[in-house]
Chain A
Amino acid sequence: DARVTQTPRHKVTEMGQEVTMRCQPILGHNTVFWYRQTMMQGLELLAYFRNRAPLDDSGMPKDRFSAEMPDATLATLKIQPSEPRDSAVYFCASGWWTGRNTEAFFGQGTRLTVV
């Protein structure tokens, strides 16, 4: 049963601390997305990669957020330093780009609380 795996499921941290969220995409998928879900903004695309290369990170606050794919089996989203307004659920999704479409399969998300 292939699925996108995200760790941790929950994270509570103090303001100013570094937070790293991890994602294992479905094996064979060549596109990875990071989304953020909040009550106020809903679901927003932060960044996405294809074949491990970042294609678009315009939705991400670059002063404190960074996204990487060290290898094909791991994507990371890092916040440094974290702030209370970063509290949200962060979703990773992966898919296979067909040239027309990418069907995105979501992980279960990381609920981040910054106090």
Chain B
Amino acid sequence: AQTVTQSQPEMSVQEAETVTLSCTYDTSESDYYLFWYKQPPSRQMILVIRQEAYKQQNATENRFSVNFQKAAKSFSLKISDSQLGDAAMYFCAYRRRGNNDMRFGAGTRLTVKP
């Protein structure tokens, strides 16, 4: 079974600083997808970034980037130049290729201090 672990229930960062959220996963598959979703107080689940396991290059979306370590089964999210609007719950998720069952971690609540 695939499981996703986010070991940091809460994190805080000063505005304009950088923060890294951790995620590890367990799988025996070689072809899969990893995601980071953001859930602000509005409850909307917003896709932040996606990584395909067969790509060695780490995905980047503006201020958001990942450190994908396939051998270590680690998928951390780095937020640079943190903004107040980044405050939210962040969920790491895994999906095996060809399977629509996306497995989510328990989430990390990020607080951004002005």
Contact = CB atoms under 8 A, between A and B. Distances in A.
Interface of A is mostly: strand
- Classify the interface of chain B: helix, strand, loop or mixed: loop
Contacts of A109: 43-45
Q: Which of B37, B47, B104 has the most CB of A within 10 A?
A: B104
B47 A56 contact: no
Nearest to B43: A109
Nearest to A45: B101
Contact of A105 (B42, B47, B52): B47
B91 interface: yes
A106 to B, nearest CB: 4
* Ranked 3 nearest A-B pairs via Cβ: A106-B45, A43-B104, A109-B43
A18 B42 CA distance: 26
Contacts, number: 45
A23 B57 CA distance: 36
Interface size range of chain A in the complex: 20 to 34
B100 A93 contact: no
B100 A42 contact: no
11 contacts: A33-B100, A42-B104, A45-B101, A55-B100, A56-B101, A91-B45, A100-B98, A102-B100, A104-B102, A108-B43, A109-B45
Interface in A75-102: 89, 91, 93, 97, 100-102
Contacts of B52: 101
B106 A42 contact: yes
